[in-house]
């Protein structure tokens, strides 16, 4: 229980930082201070908290688990395209959001959508879609917390209890500290899990007798040699992942974080340093996930490899419950923790476990974002703030934090998929499909509220269809997928072990392309509902406060 005790101590420190931030705030009566930290974050806190908010359990547990099953290609899938697309999106879109937020007092993206398209209830529809799509991102944090505490305690802290403890801690400091507490905790957490990569690679490499021998052993086996190539991922599947980073700037918590910077110049350092931060965390996570395939002397990893072999050899006659059991046993979400447990000294394993927990708990910004959106886009929009005051608005935000955390925890206990697949199939895919809304609002004069509504409804329907397929059709053991929809003999939709594909692509590709097409077509057909000249001039003027203001036409 020593590693678990260290993790518990870390959780206590994180909770204290959030409470300390609450004491430094202006009190519970200032909504802007609670939800946006008074728009006063400095460059270091802005960079580290923004990066930490994007990483979460997906970057360490999810990346290493996916690499354990699929190989070094995991780095190419996510980190390579993300290191380019996310900084460009922050520079082009994030700076414009910051400027508009400063000028017009926006606290959420939906507020900007309502003002830009002169719409009311359509903004509420967009809020509902965004809120539902953000829940999977919060779910993976609960899953990561349960996995981490269950692993470092060797099962003495069960998954359900570990997830509950992490949920309570995050809920506590988000309720008390608001955005200031969330940003400070995220800064502390980001420093910890950035240090984790270098330390873990050094210690685990020494314990395994050098990574060179581990890689050579993988190359010599026909079953593991493909892990060092792109062989396990088709070209269409690989290409699909270039759409995933589009979700980053569309995430409400990232958009809201863009509003917290004290100065526009803070974005410059963030754009430059963001790719380096990605390299520091993704490269070690992916590499250790691949190397784990050679760590058969670690009993927990050997058990996973045996379950994977048994699953690959299973025939179609095998019972679905047996396949589900083997798949759960073979999952690699905890593989990096097992490596630390097997090769690091106890004291160091304890500290590294706390570093992993730091990445897991970065879901705090998503929870706060949902709270901010609810209080601003629903409670305040429909007259609650004007009637009851800003103090009641802040208290309503805190109640919503409790509610959404409890919902995410209840769902997390029933999710059978890996962290990586839950994130990419639902949260990332949905927000990538919503990215055309943000681009159109900021850079296309002729976009309309009806085009935005069509795009939002399509995105919600597409994600629901993917969820329905994956809940009703059990995944195949390995190999070829299960055809779901084959019009005229063409296999369009297929259920595979990792989720669903459409013509060989991840669902994110058709979802995003059709979303953008619908927005263009419907906006063109409803050009008469374009906002008035006064609104257009406020968004597409030549005022230097708006970076790239003249880009829309």
**Residue 528: predicted pLDDT:** 87
How many secondary structure helices (H) and strands (E) does the chain include? 27, 3
Mean pLDDT by 10 residues, the chain (553 residues): 81 82 60 82 87 76 87 88 91 93 91 92 93 83 80 82 85 82 84 81 84 87 88 87 91 90 89 89 89 89 88 68 77 84 82 75 78 90 83 84 85 69 76 94 94 96 91 75 89 87 92 96 92 88 45 32
b or e along 73-105 (b: 16 or more beta carbons within 10 Å of the residue's beta carbon)? bbbebbbbbbbebbbebbbbbbbbbbbbbeeee
Give the integer Cα–Cα distance in Å for 85 and 297.
Answer: 40
**Residue 548: predicted pLDDT:** 39
Distance from CA of residue 429 to its chain's centroid? 10
Cβ contact 271:53 at 8 Å: no
**Residue 95: predicted pLDDT:** 93
Lookup result for tokens 């195949």: 476
**Residue 358: predicted pLDDT:** 74
Residue 262 carries which DSSP code?
S
Give the integer Cα–Cα distance in Å for 187 and 191.
Answer: 6
**Residue 179: predicted pLDDT:** 85
**Residue 515: predicted pLDDT:** 97
**Residue 550: predicted pLDDT:** 35
**Residue 176: predicted pLDDT:** 78
Give the integer Cα–Cα distance in Å for 419 and 65.
Answer: 8
Among residues 106, 58, 195, the alpha carbon closest in space to that of 380 is found at 106
* Tokens found for residue 294: 């050679």
**Residue 30: predicted pLDDT:** 66
b or e along 11-46 (b: 16 or more beta carbons within 10 Å of the residue's beta carbon)? beebbebbebbbeebeebebbbbbbbbbbbbebebb
**Residue 25: predicted pLDDT:** 58
**Residue 543: predicted pLDDT:** 46
- Give the rounded percent of residues in the chain with a pLDDT score beyond 90: 26
The mean pLDDT of the chain is 84
CATH topology for 2-416 is Sodium/glucose cotransporter (1.20.1730)
Note the pLDDT tens digit of each residue in 314-365.
Answer: 665 667 677 777 777 888 778 888 888 888 888 777 777 777 777 677 667 8
Q: At what angle do helices 346-360 and 121-152 cross, to 10 degrees?
A: 170
**Residue 239: predicted pLDDT:** 92
Cβ contact 500:422 at 8 Å: no
Q: What is the DSSP string of 19-68?
A: HHHHHHSS-TT-HHHHHHGGG-B-HHHHHHHHHHHHHHHIIIIIHHHHHH
End-to-end CA distance of the chain: 61
Cβ contact 201:288 at 8 Å: yes
pTM across the whole model: 0.85
């Amino acid at each position: 229980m020593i590693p678990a005790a260290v993790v518990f101590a870390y959780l206590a420190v994180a909770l204290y930082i959030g409470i300390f931030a609450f004491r430094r705030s202006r009190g519970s009566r200032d909504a802007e201070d609670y939800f946006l930290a008074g728009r006063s974050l400095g460059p270091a806190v802005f960079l580290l908290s923004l990066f930490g908010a994007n990483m979460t359990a997906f970057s360490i547990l999810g990346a290493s688990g996916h690499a354990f099953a699929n190989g070094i290609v995991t780095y190419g899938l996510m980190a390579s395209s993300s290191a380019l697309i996310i900084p460009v999106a922050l520079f082009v879109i994030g700076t414009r959001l910051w400027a508009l937020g400063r000028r017009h007092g926006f606290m959420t993206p939906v507020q900007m959508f309502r003002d830009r398209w002169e719409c009311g209830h359509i903004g509420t529809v967009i809020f509902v879609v965004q809120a539902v799509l953000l829940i999977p991102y919060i779910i993976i944090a609960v899953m990561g917390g349960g996995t981490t505490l269950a692993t470092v305690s060797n099962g003495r802290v069960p998954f359900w209890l570990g997830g509950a403890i992490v949920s309570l801690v995050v809920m506590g400091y988000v309720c008390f500290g608001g955005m200031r507490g969330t940003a400070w905790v995220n800064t502390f957490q980001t420093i910890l899990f950035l240090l984790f990569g270098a330390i873990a690679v050094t210690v685990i490499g020494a314990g395994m007798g050098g990574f060179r021998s581990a890689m050579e052993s993988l190359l010599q086996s026909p079953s593991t040699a493909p892990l060092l190539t792109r062989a396990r991922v088709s070209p269409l599947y690989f290409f699909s992942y270039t759409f995933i980073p589009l979700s980053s700037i569309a995430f409400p918590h990232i958009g809201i974080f863009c509003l917290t910077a004290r100065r526009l110049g803070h974005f410059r350092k963030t754009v430059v340093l963001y790719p380096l931060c990605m390299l520091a965390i993704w490269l070690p996570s992916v590499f250790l996930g691949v190397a784990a395939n050679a760590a058969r002397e670690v009993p927990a990893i050997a058990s996973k490899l045996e379950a994977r072999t048994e699953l690959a050899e299973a025939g179609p006659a095998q019972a679905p419950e047996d396949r589900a059991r083997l798949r759960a046993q073979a999952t690699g979400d905890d593989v990096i923790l097992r490596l630390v447990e097997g090769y690091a000294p106890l004291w160091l394993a304890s500290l590294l476990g706390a570093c992993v927990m730091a990445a897991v708990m970065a879901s705090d910004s998503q929870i706060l974002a949902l709270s901010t959106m609810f209080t601003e886009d629903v409670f305040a929009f429909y007259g609650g703030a004007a009637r009851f005051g800003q103090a009641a608005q802040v208290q309503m935000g805190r109640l919503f934090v409790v509610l959404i955390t409890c919902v995410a925890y209840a769902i997390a206990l029933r999710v059978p998929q890996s962290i990586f697949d839950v994130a990419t199939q639902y949260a990332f895919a949905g927000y990538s499909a919503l990215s055309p809304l943000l681009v159109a609002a900021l850079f296309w004069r002729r976009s309309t509220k009806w085009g935005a509504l069509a795009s939002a409804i399509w995105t919600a329907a597409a994600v629901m269809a993917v969820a329905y397929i994956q809940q009703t059709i059990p995944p195949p053991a390995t190999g070829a997928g299960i055809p779901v929809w084959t019009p005229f003999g063409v296999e369009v939709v297929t259920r595979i072990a990792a989720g669903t594909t459409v013509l060989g692509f991840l669902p994110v590709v058709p979802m995003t392309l059709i979303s953008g097409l619908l927005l263009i077509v419907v906006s063109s057909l409803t050009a008469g509902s374009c906002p008035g000249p006064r609104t257009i001039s406020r968004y597409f003027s030549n005022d230097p406060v708006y970076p790239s203001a003249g880009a829309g036409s």
